[in-house]
Amino acid sequence: IIEKILGKWIGRFFSIVLLISFTIVLAAILRQYAEFISGSILPKTPVSVIILFILAIAIYPTFHGIGVVGRLAEIFGPLLILGIIVPSLLGISNLNLHYLLPLFYDSGILNIVSGSFAPAGFLTDCVLVVWIYNLSEDHIKKKKYLMMSILISGVLYLFTVIFIIATFGVTIASSQLYPFLMLERYISILGIIQNLDSIVITVWILSIFLKICLYLFVTSYGFSRYTQKKSRRRFIFYIASIVYILSLIPRNVVEVSILFPAKVGIPYLLPLWAGLPLLLVIVSYMKGKINNHSIK
């Protein structure tokens, strides 16, 4: 699509940049996953071992195609949504809505918008869904499901952020690396229902696993199409080897979770992932106008 709209050479340049960005973010996701697992349940296990095993497991469904990854998402999806909503609802008694106020008085709208750039750099990876959407034979009929999937993800993200801030306040919530995990640990109902952080860890593992599979499929499929090689499966092992090495470059969780979004996500990923689709829409629209004018 990029080559058809922007031309062969410009299109191929943007295509390879896009594929490289997916590869780099996949490595960052793997490292974040390993740091989370190491910090929560496997503190004495090297992150290199954790990354190796999750990659080895993710290769299997990716090797067999997007259909298998889709079936896994179909099975895990409802469990993931329940794993986010139900534990959060159990903590309603801990909410203090006054923590949500004031909305703009302390920092102002510009500081709030600038603070949203770092997470937006990762959330704009919904462009991956568009990639999968175009692989579907009846993708025109599936348009509403595409929009619903992005909408539900955004609503759940907003839902968890509101609950976290309303429970701890901005100061405490912003000082935590995994505030949602802290939220579930804080829940205690009559001393019976507590220690729900195990649910959060399970949800995190399942969701990250699906995301790794999706990234691995898109990068392997994309590079095979870009190089005009028929063997997509061979590229899975190439990409897995590259991202494994890249994931070991950050020295700690601060570099991958704080410095990476600030130094790479905001200046590079966000303009590319948000700007490129917008550029394609504008150029396509202008070409359509020129062609219609020529016909007339």
Q: Computed from CA positions of residues 120, 208, 174, 160, in that sequence, does the dihedral angle turn out positive or negative? A: positive
Contact 219, 239 (CB under 8 A): yes
221 vs 183, residue with greater confidence: 221
Confidence band (pLDDT; 50, 70, 90) for 260?
confident
Planar angle of CA 231, 232, 238, nearest 5 degrees: 100
Contact 239, 23 (CB under 8 A): yes
- Burial degree of 275 (CB within 10 A; 0-12, 13-18, 19+): exposed
Is residue 132 predicted with pLDDT exceeding 80? no
Q: At what angle do helices 8-40 and 232-247 cross, to 10 degrees?
A: 50
- What's phi and psi for 251, nearest 5 deg? -85, -25
Confidence band (pLDDT; 50, 70, 90) for 246?
very high
d(CA 208, CA 200): 12
Q: What is the mean pLDDT of residues 117-124?
A: 77
pLDDT digits 0-9 by tens, 67-118 = 898 899 888 888 888 888 887 888 788 888 888 887 766 667 787 788 788 7
248 vs 295, residue with greater confidence: 248
Question: Rounded to two decimals, what is the model's pTM?
Answer: 0.85
